[in-house]
């Protein structure tokens, strides 16, 4: 029961739901004006066929199902991509753990910190909010370069690959480990590209506008259908219908961009922190503790 209560509290405190309540209030005022006018002032002879309204409701339901499924597919694909990123970061770290000598602390720290930085850089890249203070343990010369370029995750992936090739040339690791590590490195780049595809391919604006307009027209017609039977209770009936229909559409709008900061978006901060904790533990490197890390743990 406490979990349910907390879920209800978070649900109705999100910005999306607050916008929904505002729209419901406008429809409530509209319905109240129509109801008072019809019952007390001047009855408008507007007759809407029940079969026609039912047909519109069926069509609207199909549109909302398609809209919700499309949005959830984008959300779930984003979740799978970041789940794969966690898995590949762990596999990459395990490969490095096996290929480096136990006493090679410098290279272990390099891979632990740069893999962690990649996760945080990808998070910032997808949110258009790159925070270089989250990239812990990056060398000064590399940090200066990262601050000058537009695509930080790509540069970090390039630095990881360059270090592997450098270790191979120096004879620290053999060719076999280079081959084994390449698929995990490639997965980092492919995950970045797939996340960018979701971010940069929004649902067409005309489609979103059409559904919003359809819902508004449908809800606007309801008072004239219900007033003879429900009287002043029509106001509450229309508000509930607006809550159900517009709520579904607005939630779909929220989750179709899974990498944002809305209440129902993916917890990228926590997943990036999970990668940081895992790779440092696998490589036996002490994890840096900063204010940003402590905030995300909370």
Return the closest-CA partner of residue 61 out of 224, 290, 248, 196: 248
How distant, in Å, are the alpha carbons of 5, 17, 289, 293 from that of 263?
16, 10, 26, 20
Task: Determine, yes or no, domain membership for 64.
Answer: no
pTM (global) more than 0.75: yes
Return the closest-CA partner of residue 207 out of 253, 257, 251, 259: 253
What tens digit of pLDDT does each residue of 232-273 get? 888 898 899 888 888 888 888 888 889 988 777 889 999 999
Task: Determine, yes or no, domain membership for 67.
Answer: no
Q: The domain containing residue 183 runs over which residues?
A: 85-201+268-297
Q: Which of 10-24, 124-138, 161-175, 197-211 has the lowest mean pLDDT?
A: 10-24
Task: Determine, yes or no, domain membership for 162.
Answer: yes
Task: Please tell me the total count of domains within the chain.
Answer: 1
How distant, in Å, are the alpha carbons of 84, 101, 117, 118, 138 from that of 110?
22, 14, 10, 12, 8
Return the closest-CA partner of residue 117 out of 94, 143, 90, 92: 143
Give 291's pLDDT tier (boundaries 50, 70, 90). Answer: very low
What tens digit of pLDDT does each residue of 175-201 get? 888 888 889 999 999 999 999 999 998
Task: Determine, yes or no, domain membership for 234.
Answer: no
Task: Determine, yes or no, domain membership for 106.
Answer: yes
How distant, in Å, are the alpha carbons of 101, 142, 170, 276 from that of 136?
23, 12, 26, 10
C-alpha 295/C-alpha 252 separation (Å) is 29
Task: Tell me what percent of the residues of the chain surpass a pLDDT of 70.
Answer: 89
Task: Determine, yes or no, domain membership for 93.
Answer: yes
């Amino acid at each position: 029961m406490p979990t349910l209560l907390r879920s209800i509290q978070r649900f109705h405190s999100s910005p999306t739901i607050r916008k929904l309540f505002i729209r419901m209030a406008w429809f409530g005022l509209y319905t109240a004006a129509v109801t008072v006018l019809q019952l007390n002032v001047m009855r408008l002879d507007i007759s809407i066929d029940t079969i026609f309204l039912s047909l519109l409701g069926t069509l609207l339901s199909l549109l909302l199902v398609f809209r919700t499924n499309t949005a959830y597919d984008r959300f779930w694909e984003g979740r799978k991509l970041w789940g794969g990123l966690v898995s590949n970061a762990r596999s990459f770290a395990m490969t490095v753990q096996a290929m480096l000598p136990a006493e090679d602390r410098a290279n272990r720290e390099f891979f632990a910190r740069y893999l962690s930085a990649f996760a945080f850089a990808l998070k910032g890249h997808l949110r258009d909010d790159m925070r270089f203070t989250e990239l812990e343990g990056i060398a000064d010369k590399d940090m200066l370069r990262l601050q000058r370029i537009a695509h930080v995750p790509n540069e970090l992936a390039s630095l990881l690959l360059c270090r592997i090739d450098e270790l191979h040339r120096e004879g620290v690791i053999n060719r076999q480990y280079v081959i084994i590590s390449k698929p995990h490195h490639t997965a980092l780049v492919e995950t970045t590209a797939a996340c960018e595809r979701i971010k940069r391919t929004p649902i067409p604006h005309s489609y979103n506008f059409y559904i919003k307009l359809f819902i508004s027209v449908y809800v606007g017609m309801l008072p004239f259908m219900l007033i003879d039977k429900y009287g002043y209770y029509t106001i509450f009936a229309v508000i509930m219908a607006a809550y159900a229909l517009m709520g579904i559409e607005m939630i779909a709008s929220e989750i179709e961009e899974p990498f944002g900061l809305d209440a129902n978006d993916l917890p990228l901060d926590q997943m990036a922190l999970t990668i940081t904790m895992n790779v440092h533990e696998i490589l036996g490197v002490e994890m840096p503790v900063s204010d940003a890390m402590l905030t995300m743990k909370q």
